[in-house]
Each structure stands twice: as structure tokens, then as C-alpha cells.
Structure 1
């Protein structure tokens, strides 16, 4: 579930606590979490709703300036069932702290090596990708795909795994190596 920057700012301030999405099948579940650029959201409820039941309060709580704007946004979404998703900001993204940890002991370095080796089981890509990101801060998935031979969508999924390990960061456009990633690569 993606959010526009102004909605993310509203979530960070605590004013935005609802979203409306048309889905064939929900991509989040009640009790689950969702990581965003402003932190981790706890999903409180997901309800099927009819657009005619959406209120002015719903519009405000979803970051829209009016009910008409929310309804226009809903109409612009792909076909599917309309869901009302209630959530709250549960805390910071744990990857933020992880990617800033630069003191890597031998055990931690070995654990990262083992994890990268597991990611490379079909084809070696992790170190090549990390080095490309290191040498070209802001490099996009399309540019990386051209340099690695992977399809863009597949490569984006792979880079998410590096992000989970705290080795990369997503920028507004493209990627950069994290301080943890740099510390790891300095010892490889």
C-alpha cells in the first residue's frame, strides 16, 4: 500500500489514520503491519465499504481536503472491492536504526556474508549490486537492471532484500548504500 508524500506527512503528525483502496484481494490484514517512509503502521481494521457510505470525517482522516476529492481519488483507482483501512503509527522502521550500525564484529560480518551467499544461490548478484550502488549514489532500478542483466521488477525485489539487511537505502529516486553497507563492503 503506497501513500503520497503529503499523506505520509499527515500520518507522521497523527492526523491521517485511514486509507481507502480498491483491491481484488487486500494486501494488508487486520493485526498486521506495514512499513512506510515515516514508520511502521499497525493495521487496526479492514472493512469492505460502499463509496456512498464514505463520510466527510473519513475524508479528513484519510488526508483529503474534502469528501469530493476522496471520492475522485477512489474513482481513479483500479477496479475491485473498496476497502476502508484503519491504522495508527506504531513506531519507527527498525531498518533505520539497523542501517546506521557501522560497528560490525566478526560474527555480524560472517552472518551478513552467509545471508548474501543464500541470496546468491541461483546467481551471484549481491556484491555486484552493492558495489554499483556504492559507486553511483542515486542509481535507479532501471539503470541497475541494465548493468546486471536482471529485469527491473525482479531487481527491485532483490534490492528490498538488501534493504532488509540494512545495507541499502531507497532515495526519492534510486538507491544508495547505507553506512552499514559501506562498513560491510570495506571489509569484504
Structure 2
């Protein structure tokens, strides 16, 4: 079930708890927990409903601008299919987040290595696991098609393989590309692989940027902004002026800053001291 970044952020905030889809048959089941960019989203209900029964409250709970907008959106594609009302709720952080940071001991590392060996043996194209981990370590935040080309693979099969590594906490998806997790690095180090990333300077201390989408991430990174503390040195107007930063990214940055006890720098043009005196 596809959901836009803005929808996911609203589900996490509790502002959205419904979605409506036109399907020939239900594609999700109640109780299913989907892994998303904001964490786990649980399906709480799935019901087939007539379009005529939709209400303005349904539209608000689904994040639509109005009941008319909701109905128009449903009629835009596959208008001949029935409508399903899907209940949603945020179900917490993705457990893989903690797994990525959990450096395995020697025994667990051997178990992971044996699992990687099984994947290599089962692959019709030959061993790929260590080469993929090493490539991601060498080229973090690189687009998947570029990595796939270096591996001599097509992009869909390359992404499928990376997802297998991600399930075990060995890699992490970024807005652009991937990076090796501490868990993945520990496995490669244990096996004695020469890693380009081992000698890479440690990232600057601070809070990493939240998931903002590729365009916004590129815009901030091009300005040298990779941490929330650096965002707080800019005004909201300065960030919004960057090409690629839209309302969703700005809203997500504001929420992340607020959660970290930070805020955008006050814009001099709107600060109280900049207001002309009337006395």
C-alpha cells in the first residue's frame, strides 16, 4: 500500500487515521504492520464502502482538503473499482533502527556470516552479499541505479538484494541511496574485509536530518547542512528558498527541530526588533 511522505508524517502525528483506495479486492489485512519511512504503520480495519456514504469527517481524517477533493481523487483512476476504507495508526519505531546500531558479538557475527553465505550460494548470478556491503560502504548516499551499474545488475534486482540486507540491520536506506550500519560494518571488519569507509572521517556530532525526500536532502547537503543543529542556524525563509525544499520538508524539519528542543533562526525581516516604532 503506497503512501506519500506527507501522509506518513501526518499518520505519525495522529492527524490522519484513514485512507481510501479503489481496489478490485483488499490488498491489506487488519493487524498488518507496514514498515515505512516514519516507522511502523498498522492497518486497523479494511471495509468496502459506497462512495455516496463518505462524509466530510472521513475526508478530514484522510487528510483530504474537502469531501469533494476526496471523491475527485478516488474517481481519477479506476473509477469502476470498489472503494475500501482503511483504518490506520502509528505503531512505533521500526525495530530495524535499534538492530542497525546493535553491534553483534563474535557468535552472532558468525551466524550472520553463515546467513550471508546461504544467500550467496542460492544466487543464480553468483556471490553478491559482501560486494554489495562493501560498495555501499564505499559510496554511501549514492543512487541505487549507479550502484547497480557498478555491480553489473539491473536496478530492481539490486534493490531487492539490498532489502534483504536491510532486514538484518546491515544497511540503512537514506533519502538518496544507502549507508552501511554499525552492525554491517562489524560483520565486514570481523571477516577482515578492507573497507574504504573505515578510514572515513567520523561524521560531525549532532542530530542527523530526518527523512525529507531526495530533492530537499540534496538542497540542504549542497549547502553543507547535514545536521539539525545546522538547520537551526538558518531561518525558515532561508530554508524554504532552497530549490527542492517544499512545504512537506519544511513541516518535517520544524517538527524535528521542535522535538530536539531547537528552532529555526528568527528571520530579521519579521523579528520584533525589525518592526518600525510607531511612537
Same fold per superposition (TM over 0.5): yes
CA deviation after TM superposition for structure 1 residue 78, in Å = 5.1
What does residue 151 of structure 1 align with?
154
Determine the C-alpha separation between the residues in 1 that align with 2:167 and 2:177.
Answer: 16
Determine the C-alpha separation between the residues in 1 that align with 2:181 and 2:71.
Answer: 40
Q: Structure 2 matches for 1:156-175, cutoff 5 A? A: 156-175=159-178
Q: When you count strand as a share of all residues, which structure comes out higher?
A: 1
What does residue 93 of structure 2 align with?
92
What does residue 105 of structure 1 align with?
105
In 2 relative to 1, CA 27–143 (structure 1 residues): closer, same or farther, beyond 3 Å? farther
CA deviation after TM superposition for structure 1 residue 77, in Å = 4.2
* 159, 175, 180: which one aligns with 2:183: 180
In 2 relative to 1, CA 42–73 (structure 1 residues): closer, same or farther, beyond 3 Å? same
Determine the C-alpha separation between the residues in 2 that align with 1:140 and 1:180.
Answer: 22
1:91 partner SS? coil
**Which one is further off, 135-144 or 105-114?**
135-144
Name structure 1 gaps, 5 residues minimum: none
Determine the C-alpha separation between the residues in 1 that align with 2:29 and 2:40.
Answer: 14
Name structure 2 gaps, 5 residues minimum: 192-279
Q: TM-score, normalised by structure 2?
A: 0.62
Query: Which protein, 1 or 2, shows the higher relative CO under an 8 Å CA cutoff with sep ≥ 6?
Result: 1
Contact preservation (8 Å) 1:59, 1:65: yes
CA deviation after TM superposition for structure 1 residue 69, in Å = 2.7
Q: Structure 2 matches for 1:17-36, cutoff 5 A? A: 17-36=17-36
Q: Structure 2 matches for 1:34-183, cutoff 5 A? A: 34-77=34-77, 80-102=81-103, 104-120=104-120, 121-122=122-123, 123-183=126-186
Determine the C-alpha separation between the residues in 1 that align with 2:77 and 2:152.
Answer: 33
In 2 relative to 1, CA 111–15 (structure 1 residues): closer, same or farther, beyond 3 Å? same
Q: TM-score, normalised by structure 1?
A: 0.90
Determine the C-alpha separation between the residues in 1 that align with 2:146 and 2:48.
Answer: 40
CA deviation after TM superposition for structure 1 residue 50, in Å = 3.0
Determine the C-alpha separation between the residues in 2 that align with 1:24 and 1:145.
Answer: 34
Higher-Rg member (1/2): 2
2:84 partner SS? strand
**Which one is further off, 116-125 or 74-83?**
74-83
In 2 relative to 1, CA 164–78 (structure 1 residues): closer, same or farther, beyond 3 Å? farther
CA deviation after TM superposition for structure 1 residue 155, in Å = 1.7
